[in-house]
């Protein structure tokens, strides 16, 4: 069974990859023939969590509004996973205080 911290950590990495892909797309949106990157996420069966990979879109072009939505989604995912890590830390601290 995976720990909560390893699940949240994989979520943080996936959110960072999504944010990186979107930033790269915005930086290159005016490049002729540029095909946007997207971060694909899939759950990991064994240790749990998510696995993120970069994929290229088949057609050229970048939609700025889609990139803004992707960045906002990645930011929210990052914050949610950070909150999970902070909650786990508080729970472990409370458990140690009870046992001490």
End-to-end CA distance of the chain: 26
The mean pLDDT of the chain is 86
Distance CA 6, CA 18 (A): 18
pLDDT of residue 89: 83
Domain of residue 18 covers 4-99
Does the pLDDT at position 1 exceed 50?
A: no
Cα-based angle 45, 77, 12 (whole degrees, multiple of 5): 60
Number of CB atoms found within 10 A of residue 93's CB = 10
pLDDT in tens, 38-85: 998 888 877 678 888 899 998 998 999 999 999 999 999 999 999 988
CB-based contacts of 54, cutoff 8 Å, min separation 6: 17, 21, 37, 38, 39, 40
The count of domains in the chain is 1
């Amino acid at each position: 069974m995976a720990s909560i911290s390893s699940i949240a950590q994989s979520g943080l990495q996936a959110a960072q990859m999504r944010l990186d892909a979107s930033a790269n797309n915005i930086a290159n949106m005016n490049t002729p023939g540029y095909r946007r990157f997207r971060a694909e996420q899939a759950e990991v069966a064994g240790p749990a969590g998510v696995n993120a990979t970069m994929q290229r879109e088949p057609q050229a072009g970048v939609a700025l509004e889609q990139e803004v939505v992707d960045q906002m989604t990645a930011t929210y995912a990052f914050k949610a996973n950070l909150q999970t890590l902070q909650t786990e830390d508080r729970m472990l601290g409370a458990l140690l205080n009870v046992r001490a």
